[in-house]
Amino acid sequence: MAATLHDVARVAGVSIKTVSNVINDYPHVRPETKERVLAAIAELGYRPNLSARNLRSGRTGMISLIIPNLRNPYFAELADDVMNAASARGLSVLIEQVGGDRESELSVLRGSRRQAVDGILYSVLALGQEDAAVLDEIPLPMVLLGERIFNSSRDHVTMRNEDGLRAATEHLLAIGCRRIIALGSHPGEVIGSAGLRLDGYLQALDAAGVPVDERLIVHADRWHRVDGAAAMRSILAAGTEFDGIVAFNDSLALGAMRIMQEAGLRIPQDVAVIGFDDLDETRYSVPTLSTIEPGRPQIAETAVDMLLARIEERASAESSPAEPREVLTDFRLVQRESTTRAAGAPGSSGL
Amino acid sequence: MAATLHDVARVAGVSIKTVSNVINDYPHVRPETKERVLAAIAELGYRPNLSARNLRSGRTGMISLIIPNLRNPYFAELADDVMNAASARGLSVLIEQVGGDRESELSVLRGSRRQAVDGILYSVLALGQEDAAVLDEIPLPMVLLGERIFNSSRDHVTMRNEDGLRAATEHLLAIGCRRIIALGSHPGEVIGSAGLRLDGYLQALDAAGVPVDERLIVHADRWHRVDGAAAMRSILAAGTEFDGIVAFNDSLALGAMRIMQEAGLRIPQDVAVIGFDDLDETRYSVPTLSTIEPGRPQIAETAVDMLLARIEERASAESSPAEPREVLTDFRLVQRESTTRAAGAPGSSGL
DNA sequence: CTGAAAGCGCTAACAT
DNA sequence: ATGTTAGCGCTTTCAG
């Protein structure tokens, strides 16, 4: 059996309170006593029992991160960022994957592990605005990530979807593209990443006086590589002319690039491509992919900080909780090969 | 404050023992009593406090998975597989990332979260055979993954490194390659993935009577995409001739392919390439990458099962623990475009 | 079939 | 500066 506080106290010849004081770095412990306690701890290989500590203190030092799937590089990178931010603040992260359907998200939110964490970082995917009320019922501090739900009573960290996509589109316009495909739209969606990003695209065209061609707005329900590839196949089959692509995320862009290359299109000479997310992979694809870096580390840090603040607010049982906050992170356009045309050599599409 | 057992008992008009019986699905509860208790639980929105349960039962229902980094797709996919296996068995997974250096691995192993989990799945990276003894000191059930440590007192799940790489090399030989680069060696390493995989390569050449050329054994300390790219740059700079590459993992292969394509080499016509790991990405690269599928889901399931067995063995406090087991998973060669040459058209290198 | 009560290991208020 | 002690919410003998 593992050593307990009492064992340490006995070996050190003090009371458990003193041992507890030493462990928790309380002041008012005579150096020599501390010494003796530390020696006893080392001798016994004592480690505090976290279950007991949690039970007593009402805190676990763990937060859960609810995401769709780690195989999706965006979420793997987000998870890494969150774990780094959390561990810098002394927290552990319990990652919970959800199936992507509404039921599974709800059941995880309400789920059994709830009692094992101090708070939840929830990257909303399947729920929508109409579920905002459901979130209020979860009796745990929570911070929302993503763009599916606004105006709930929860803190929310999100990226500048419209601005980012507008900048991406402007970048393509600036290097000479005129027939730019928007890849990844969700017809009818207004809020949500797809709706917001489409808006940014339209704003950019509008500002440049370039007419909108509905055939250039390409639908893609899911945003994985395979979806980008499939979409590009139908675009080519339809014979639509285009000289640039703003993909609503990097995976779509990478999938589309693969199909274009098979079809003999040169990137960026024939078609310039830009994505969104700044996945690690965009630095290594052929060609390397220009993209919008949406401030993911900042999202992670901000979200963890906000959650921690909520947890502490709750612990100190103060009057009324602070108003929900909404934070938008800074984005940055990263230009790589897929949009870098040789100087003085405009796109070859001749439009 | 959240409802407790006592609250439920009061509302249902029974004792806490009865409530506990209902929750834990014990027999011997009269149906109508059970009904009443269930109603009270629903009414109060009662959820058992896991810290208390853990404290009492000595189990947490969590295992930790220690891996280097989620941004590495191999480990992201492994983590996904492990989480699926664990959740099918009612366990949660706490992912802990380690820096990759020896000290950081040791400190996580001994680390503070130790008391919060029932067991550890440890994907060994920085420790080596000489640390086998250290592992015995960790007073927690543990299963090792990977090929850095053999013959410790711990259960161990590993893949068929030699056989897999031998099969990969034989595949290249079969399609006509004669000057095959082995990419990713660690000079001097005997056990460890690099040592074992190099062995498989040498075995295949030997069996085919193809002489070993030291210049074709290319070193790469780390196995990320960028390392594969860097290695390929020096190979090209050195002017070494080659017509095939067996990379010791997929990332190396993908990195090398990028550089070859920039240099105008065609894959598979000029150079055939095969990797190892079967990352999701290999299905979408240009060209798609042939690879060895090392049985990762099987690794995950087996490892979780073994760990669970150890946890239960410990709980039942039986005589002596079972002998450590060593499991090798089945691999499979997956042929994709990077090694598929048109029938009747052998490699163009002319060797 | 159900109730009473002990105690898991820890923290923190209170006492000295 | 250190000791005493009462629970945190649950599981689990042991009685009824």
**Average pLDDT estimate for B19-44:** 83
* Total beta-carbon pairs less than 8 A apart between chain A and chain B: 118
Residue ranges of chain B assigned to CATH 1.10.260.40: 5-48
> How large a percentage of chain B has pLDDT more than 90?
59
Whether pLDDT at B206 is above 90: yes
Q: Which of B247, B243, B167, B249 is nearest to B208 (CA)?
A: B167
Whether pLDDT at B348 is above 60: no
* CATH number for the domain running over B5-48: 1.10.260.40
Q: How far B159 CA lies from chain A's nearest CA (Å)?
A: 21
Indicate yes or no: strand D within 7 A of the C-beta of A116: no
Whether pLDDT at B295 is above 90: yes
CATH class name, domain B60-158+296-329: alpha beta
**Average pLDDT estimate for A233-256:** 97
**Cα nearest neighbour of A58 on chain B:** B51
pLDDT (tens digit, 9 = 90+) per residue, B207-243?
A: 999 999 999 999 999 999 999 999 999 999 999 999 9
CATH of B161-293+334-339, one of 3.40.50.1370, 3.40.50.2300, 3.40.470.10, 3.40.960.10: 3.40.50.2300
**pLDDT score at B319:** 59
**Cα nearest neighbour of A226 on chain B:** B284
Indicate yes or no: strand C within 7 A of the C-beta of B29: yes
Residues 220-259 of A with CB under 8 A from B: 225-226, 229, 254-255, 257-258
B114-143 burial string, b = 16+ CB within 10 Å, else e?
bbbbbbbbbbbbbbeeebbebbeebebbbb
**Average pLDDT estimate for B267-276:** 97
* Strand D footprint nucleotides (protein C-beta < 7 Å): 1-5, 7-13
What is this structure's pTM? Answer: 0.91
Question: Are B70 and A51 an interchain contact pair (Cβ–Cβ within 8 Å)?
Answer: no
Best to test chain B binding among A71, A94, A224, A279 (most B CBs inside 10 Å)? A71
pLDDT (tens digit, 9 = 90+) per residue, A317-340?
A: 555 778 899 999 999 999 999 999
**pLDDT score at B40:** 86
Question: Are A115 and B49 an interchain contact pair (Cβ–Cβ within 8 Å)?
Answer: yes
pLDDT (tens digit, 9 = 90+) per residue, B119-175?
A: 999 998 777 777 878 888 888 899 999 887 777 889 999 999 999 999 999 999 999
Residue ranges of chain A assigned to CATH 3.40.50.2300: 60-158+296-329, 161-293+334-339
**pLDDT score at A342:** 75
**Angle, to 10 degrees, between the axis of helix A161-174 and the axis of helix A193-208?**
40
**pLDDT score at A317:** 54
Q: Which residue has the higher pLDDT, A262 or A207?
A: A207
Whether pLDDT at B347 is above 50: no
Q: How far B98 CA lies from chain A's nearest CA (Å)?
A: 11
3 state SS for A40-100: HHHHHCCCCCHHHHHHHHCCCCEEEEEECCCCCHHHHHHHHHHHHHHHHCCCEEEEEECCC
**Average pLDDT estimate for A344-348:** 43
Chain B partners within 8 Å of A62 (Cβ)? 94, 116
Label residue B28 by pLDDT band (50, 70, 90). confident
pLDDT (tens digit, 9 = 90+) per residue, B316-346?
A: 755 577 889 999 999 999 999 999 987 644 4
Question: Are B258 and A286 an interchain contact pair (Cβ–Cβ within 8 Å)?
Answer: yes
Residues with Cβ within 8 Å of B278's Cβ and at least 6 positions away in sequence, in order, are B250, B291, B292, B293, B294, B296, B334
Whether pLDDT at A315 is above 80: no
**pLDDT score at A294:** 96
CA atom of A139 to C1′ atom of C12, Å: 26
**pLDDT score at A349:** 37
pLDDT (tens digit, 9 = 90+) per residue, B309-324?
A: 999 887 775 557 788 9
Say which range, A34-43, A172-181, A242-251, has the weakest mean pLDDT.
A34-43
Three-class SS of residue B113? helix
